[in-house]
């Protein structure tokens, strides 16, 4: 196994331009992008993020998705059972990180690769796996590392991350925001900037109140705090969602 800390960027074409917000973000918070072996991410969204991060990682078969888009990652990490031979042939040996152990998923291995390189934000694409069990398993992986770094999972319609203590962001009016206690009770949830505020309520799986399908009021900064637990935050995409998340 080749295990070098230095990575080589192998982008074969420029996928879009970087916004001013993206440039500001990369100056202050070193960030990474991971493409997993799930449903192919929205092309324009992936291209926007590709230009805004310092480290680009494929979790095993995610490298096949990138190859189809004409992109090469800085690193391919995993047990490599899904990496197509023709894709592997085009990668330099120093970009391949074979981690054969089967106790963790390829997404987990890729996240640890990014953490070892000091990434303060990690953005995941294709982490749904195309199956409900893989989607939930990858949420569990996100939870495992969510106190060590900011982890954001992107789909074609929304982005998700875990909130432990506090979170805030200015969002467009009527953006749908859901708060889900998927892995256990979350105590003392307080929100502002949403049409249906929570005022210290606990959110408990299987019990009201529901945190699903709330909405942002007029150009408000949405603020969320909780006393304990891990709250899954889901934010619907807007046209400028990518620039917004990188400007925080």
Residues 67 and 32 in one domain: yes
| CATH assignment of the domain containing 239 | 2.60.120.320
What is the total count of domains within the chain?
2
The answer on pLDDT for 1 being more than 60 is no
For residue 129, name the pLDDT band (cuts at 50, 70, 90): low
The answer on pLDDT for 73 being more than 60 is yes
Model pLDDT, residue 38: 85
Tokens of 89: 């042939």
Residues 177 and 70 in one domain: no
Model pLDDT, residue 238: 64
110: helix, strand or coil: helix
pLDDT in tens, 237-247: 865 554 444 44
pTM of the model: 0.82
| CATH assignment of the domain containing 80 | 3.40.50.10240
Q: Classify residue 219: in a domain, yes or no.
A: yes
Range of the domain at 73: 20-156
Tokens of 129: 């796996």
Residues 54 and 135 in one domain: yes
Q: Classify residue 10: in a domain, yes or no.
A: no
Longest distance between any two alpha carbons in the chain, whole Å? 56
Residues 98 and 202 in one domain: no
Q: Classify residue 14: in a domain, yes or no.
A: no
Q: Classify residue 2: in a domain, yes or no.
A: no
Model pLDDT, residue 212: 95
Stronger pLDDT, 65 or 15, i.e. the higher one: 65
Beta-carbon contacts of 51 under 8 Å, excluding residues fewer than 6 positions away, are 14, 15, 16, 17, 18, 22
Residues 126 and 174 in one domain: no
The answer on pLDDT for 123 being more than 90 is yes
Q: How far, CA to CA in Å, does 101 sit from each of 4, 39, 97? A: 18, 24, 12
Of 156, 176, 201, which marks where a domain is finished? 156
| In contact, 245 and 172? CB cutoff 8 Å | no
Residues 134 and 212 in one domain: no
Of 112, 132, 156, which marks where a domain is finished? 156
Model pLDDT, residue 218: 84
Averaged over 180-187, what is the pLDDT? 96
Q: Classify residue 1: in a domain, yes or no.
A: no
Residues 28 and 137 in one domain: yes
């Amino acid at each position: 196994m080749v295990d070098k800390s230095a990575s080589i960027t192998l982008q074969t074409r420029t996928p879009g331009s970087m916004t001013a917000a993206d440039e500001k973000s990369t100056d202050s918070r070193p960030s990474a992008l991971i493409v997993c072996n799930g449903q192919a991410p929205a092309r324009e969204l992936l291209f926007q993020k590709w230009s805004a991060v310092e480290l680009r990682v494929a979790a095993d078969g995610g490298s096949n998705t990138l190859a189809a888009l004409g992109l090469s990652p800085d690193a391919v990490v995993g047990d490599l059972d899904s990496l197509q031979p023709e894709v592997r042939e085009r990668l330099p040996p120093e970009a391949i990180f074979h981690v054969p152990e089967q106790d963790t998923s390829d997404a987990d291995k890729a996240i640890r690769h990014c953490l070892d390189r000091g990434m303060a934000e990690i953005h995941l694409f294709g982490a749904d796996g195309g199956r409900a069990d893989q989607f939930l398993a990858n949420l569990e992986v996100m939870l495992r590392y969510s106190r060590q770094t900011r982890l954001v999972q992107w789909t074609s319609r929304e982005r998700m991350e875990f909130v432990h203590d506090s979170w805030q962001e200015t969002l467009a009016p009527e953006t749908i925001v859901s708060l889900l206690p998927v892995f256990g009770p979350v105590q003392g949830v307080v929100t502002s900037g949403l049409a249906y505020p929570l005022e210290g309520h606990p959110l408990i799986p299987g019990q009201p109140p529901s945190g699903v399908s709330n909405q942002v009021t007029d150009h408000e900064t949405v603020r969320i705090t909780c006393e304990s637990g891990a709250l899954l935050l889901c934010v619907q995409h807007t046209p400028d969602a990518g620039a917004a998340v990188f400007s925080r």
